[in-house]
């Protein structure tokens, strides 16, 4: 993960995280940053009073590498939650995937970002576009996920497929869903039930579903958690890199 370098100098691999509020998107970003930098970070602001979306702005997170001016070539875009009525519009997620949404845009729940808006990027380049779509869902409430949210996830998935964006799902908070996993995180490798259920529901293949536990209460880093987070990131980066290479070798898609 630390050594990853895109083939073109200056290229960024953009990972877009979406999913219900409180799913653990910000925690996952913080965890990746903590693992690669070797100490705890809470840069992406985690909200611990679950309920409404805490993230309402389109925000890109970069991870510093060495000195303050250099960053890892993979970046995360965090998008507001996908709740039934108060969540981000699917049409805005699509605009974000195509690179049309500028950083800092505050999502409007009533109407989609218009081309006249100052936050609308009319000519997104390869760095603005999304290269991997990550759907984040919490294991503990997976079974009770409202049908509307499942439908939104499915719609976004279809759009991403049409745009040629690879996608994975993260099943977070695995420690809350399974006592065996809480006891020993390594037991996660034996559990298939959640992956199977989710795969059928939203149509993401089993080998693209990753269970993770993010840092949320720990004070120190832990090898088992690091392994899970890093192996997930390695897969995400590989898929994103394939997408970048495909795009830079085919004629730039007109979005
Ligand atoms: N037990 C547990 N709690 C988690 C995990 N990941 C996140 N959380 C908690 O879930 C809550 C919401 O997380 P957050 O990252 O803000 O979700 P977001 O709205 O998707 O960005 C916070 O209180 C986190 O501490 C996890 O892997 N295990
Ligand atoms: Mg968040």
Q: Give yes or no for residue 176 CB within 6 A of ligand 1.
A: yes
Q: How confident is the model at residue 206 (pLDDT cuts 50, 70, 90)?
A: confident
State the pairing for strand pair 74-78/13-18: parallel
User: Which CATH superfamily includes the segment(s) 13-249?
Assistant: P-loop containing nucleotide triphosphate hydrolases (3.40.50.300)
Tell me the per-residue pLDDT of 152-181, one tens digit each, with 9 for 90 and over: 888 888 999 999 999 999 999 988 888 888
* Domains in the chain: boundaries: 13-249
**Considering only CA atoms, which residue is closest to atom 23 of ligand 1?**
48
Residues measured by CB to lie within 5 Å of ligand 2, the ion: 25-26, 55
SS3 203: coil
Q: Which of 34-48, 76-90, 98-112, 198-212 has the weakest average pLDDT?
A: 76-90
The helix (run of H) or strand (run of E) holding residue 134 is strand 132-138
Does 250 score more than 60 pLDDT? Answer: yes
Q: φ, ψ for residue 14 (rounded to 5)?
A: -100, 125
Q: Could you tell me the two tokens for 230? A: 């890093």
């Amino acid at each position: 993960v630390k050594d990853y370098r895109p083939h073109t100098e200056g290229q960024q691999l953009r990972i877009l995280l979406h999913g219900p509020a409180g799913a653990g998107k910000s925690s996952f970003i913080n965890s990746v940053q903590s693992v690669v930098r070797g100490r705890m970070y809470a840069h992406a602001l985690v909200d611990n009073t679950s309920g409404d979306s805490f993230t309402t702005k389109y925000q890109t997170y970069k991870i510093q590498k060495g000195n303050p001016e250099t960053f890892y070539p993979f970046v995360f875009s965090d998008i507001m939650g996908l709740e039934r009525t108060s969540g981000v519009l699917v049409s805005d997620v699509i605009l974000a995937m195509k690179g049309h949404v500028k950083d800092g845009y505050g999502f409007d729940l009533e109407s989609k970002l218009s081309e006249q808006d100052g936050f609308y990027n009319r000519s997104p380049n390869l760095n603005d576009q999304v290269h991997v779509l990550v759907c984040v869902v919490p294991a503990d409430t997976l079974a009770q996920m409202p049908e509307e949210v499942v439908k939104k996830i499915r719609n976004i998935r279809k759009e991403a497929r049409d745009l040629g964006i690879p996608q994975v799902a993260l099943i977070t908070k695995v420690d809350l869903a399974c006592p065996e996993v809480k006891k020993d995180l390594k037991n996660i490798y034996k559990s298939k039930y959640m992956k199977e259920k989710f795969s059928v529901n939203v149509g993401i293949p089993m080998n693209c579903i990753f269970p993770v536990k993010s840092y949320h209460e720990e004070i120190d880093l832990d090898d088992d958690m690091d392994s899970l987070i890093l192996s997930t990131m390695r897969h995400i980066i590989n898929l994103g890199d394939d997408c970048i290479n495909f795009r830079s070798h085919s004629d730039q898609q007109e979005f």
